[in-house]
Amino acid sequence: MSFFLGIDAGGTAAKAAVYDASGCEIHSARTRLGNIYPRPGYVERNPEQMWEAIARVICGTIRGAGIPADGIECVSATGFGCGIFLLDDAGHPVRNAIVSSDMRSQGVVDVLVKGDHYDTLQRLAMQRHRAAATVNLIDWIEQGEPEIANQARNLLLCKDYINFRLTGTVGTDVTDSTGGMLASPATCKKNEDLLEEMRLGHWVGRIPNIFKSTDIVGHVSETAAEETELASGTLVAAGCMDVHAVSLASGVIDNSMLGICLGTWGINFIILAQARQSAPYCLMQMARGIGQSSLVMEGSPDSAVNLDWLLSIMGPGTRVEPISRIACRDTLIDPSNVVYLPHLTGGKGQPKTGFS
């Protein structure tokens, strides 16, 4: 019997699951991924520690499934969209990865929005510019960390880094590259016009080859096999951004349905038969690699990431009761209780989290 392994590296946790050929889940495992908060609004992750956590969760999934590693026909990963992973010539990270809930590039976005050519930038990206979008993080790094910019030779997204550690292949896919504004949702090719307009044209060569999500990008290396207990030589597919994975898994495949995803981000999304190329533009638009269709979404990073932060500072044993349950009570909220209002990652001038 054939089996398949899926990996998800989200903004909060890493998960892995084994499925049979009919799509039935055999076993799954998860572990929390620790984020780093060097400054308010900054959210980072150590790539090596992330990989170690993912390797452990893969091992646990294979053992829990009770199947031989060579029974797994193919591995595919998904991960948070946007953010950035930067590698040097030797394939080593040149800094911590920046996570999709990071807000450091909000100042870059504010300048772009007020500029005379913002309409052009939106048209070329076919979506609104926003903090943590990969192209805006490149701009921030160019301005704030020029020495890092000079060291970086390969630009990856979250699931691309997993694929790199599994296979040694440097590549990305159409969903991540278009959602992060590195490629055009209309053509699925590198968005050289946008990068030139932003004076970032010298980064075009650092964007890796763009695959379809179902393309095989490589095989599990001997090193990765030792770390994960996968069989050396196992096929690895390109994978996709997590929102696209959610749409497929939940059956949202055309514009007759609305999808809602509550993870690190809270997201609403729909499918368009063709990419939207005129204003008004949505928060994000990504090509699906399926005909000319695209996935468009609105959302904000105020979901599970806020709970994760709260529990990390309050310590183990913290009792959390959703406000929806409190609000539905017949009695008023006990004034001795602490109420947490979750909007941790608002940028300058945007809502912030608070306690009441």
Instruction: List own/partner pairs for 140-143 with CB under 8 A and 24 or more apart.
Output: 140/104, 140/105, 140/107, 140/108, 141/84, 141/86, 142/200, 143/108
The residue out of 213, 240, 267 marking a domain boundary is 240
How far is it, in rounded angstroms, from Cα 302 to Cα 49?
24
Domain that holds residue 320: 315-355
| pLDDT digits 0-9 by tens, 65-98 | 999 999 999 999 999 999 999 999 999 999 999 9
> Among the listed ranges 197-201, 231-235, 276-280, 297-301, which one has the minimum average pLDDT value?
297-301
pLDDT at 332: 45
Same domain? For 89 and 218 the reply is yes
Same domain? For 324 and 192 the reply is no
Q: State the total domains in the chain.
A: 2
The residue out of 240, 270, 302 marking a domain boundary is 240
Q: Is 307 contained in some domain?
A: no
Predicted confidence band of residue 263 (pLDDT cuts 50, 70, 90): confident
The residue out of 240, 271, 291 marking a domain boundary is 240
Same domain? For 17 and 137 the reply is yes
Same domain? For 7 and 97 the reply is yes
4: helix, strand or coil: strand
Q: Please indicate whether residue 327 or residue 245 has the higher confidence score (pLDDT).
A: 245
* pTM exceeds 0.75 for this model: yes
200: helix, strand or coil: coil
How far is it, in rounded angstroms, from Cα 199 to Cα 6?
38
Q: Is 36 contained in some domain?
A: yes
